[in-house]
Amino acid sequence: MATTSAANRSSAKRDALLDTAEGLFTRQGYRAVGIDTVLAQAGVAKMTLYKYFKSKEELIAAVLEHRGNAIAAALAERIAAAPGGPRERLLAVFDWLEDAVRSPEFHGCLFIKAASEYPAEADLPRKAALVFKEGCLRLLEGLCREVGADDPEGLARQLQLLLEGTLVMAFLQRNPQAASDARRAAETLLAAKLKIPQERRP
């Protein structure tokens, strides 16, 4: 019982560090946020931080993994709830994206920012960002197979370009309309690849 309670407290402190760091990194970037700022806002001691993470870079990588898991869960839920067949499940990814970039909490893509601020191949944040983006590509490939694409890998890469372009333009121009444009482009691409009628959206 005592062991369980101690483990829960330990887990709560780690979660507090991750949540606080994620919020700070999202709004301010990685290099601009010092460890002392994270500790002060999370209300934990430096010794506690280094109990879980050997470096700031390891903390960033853990934040990215944490964010990636949350996004994967949200996408899975949105895809499962999509009405209709495989095409609608694939387009549900773009519906999720539109909601994401319209959120007041959207301050750009944490993963793109990580690769930008940590450009070396050996950098842990860059590695974590690549793992997530590759996972997104695998998800798209699976959806493209379900929809019956002749070249699911090629179509998935094209769709990922739309997704990544949306994240950049929505942040750069502060214009969430980019997500609606990307969904329409995805519909056009699917109609051409699968030779199916394109739905009209308002």
Note the CATH number of domain 55-194.
Answer: 1.10.357.10
**Do the Cβ atoms of 143 and 90 come closer than 8 Å?**
yes
Amino acid 5: pLDDT: 54
Q: Cβ neighbours of residue 46 under 8 Å, at least 6 residues apart?
A: 35, 36, 39
Structure tokens given for 163: 């997704």
Structure tokens given for 51: 């109990």
> Would you call 35 exposed, middle or buried from its count of C-beta atoms within 10 A (0-12, 13-18, 19+)?
middle
d(CA 91, CA 199) in angstroms, rounded, equals 12
DSSP string, 123-191: -HHHHHHHHHHHHHHHHHHHHHHHTT-SSHHHHHHHHHHHHHHHHHHHHHTT-THHHHHHHHHHHHHHH
Half-sphere exposure of 55 (CA within 13 A, CB side): 7
**Do the Cβ atoms of 170 and 176 come closer than 8 Å?**
yes
Domain ranges of the chain: 1-52, 55-194
d(CA 125, CA 64) in angstroms, rounded, equals 8
Q: What is the mean pLDDT of residues 156-181?
A: 93
pLDDT at 4 over 70: no
Amino acid 63: pLDDT: 97
Q: What is the pTM of this model?
A: 0.88
Q: For 57-102, what is each residue's pLDDT tens digit?
A: 999 999 999 999 999 999 999 999 999 999 999 999 999 999 999 9
Going from the C-alpha of 172 to that of each of 107, 165, 199, the distances in angstroms are 10, 10, 29
Structure tokens given for 2: 């005592």
| SS3 state at 196 | coil
Q: For 174-189, what is each residue's pLDDT tens digit?
A: 887 899 999 999 999 9
Selected from 3.30.830.10, 1.10.1040.10, 1.10.10.60, 3.40.190.10, the CATH number assigned to the domain covering 1-52 reads 1.10.10.60
Half-sphere exposure of 182 (CA within 13 A, CB side): 29
Amino acid 44: pLDDT: 87
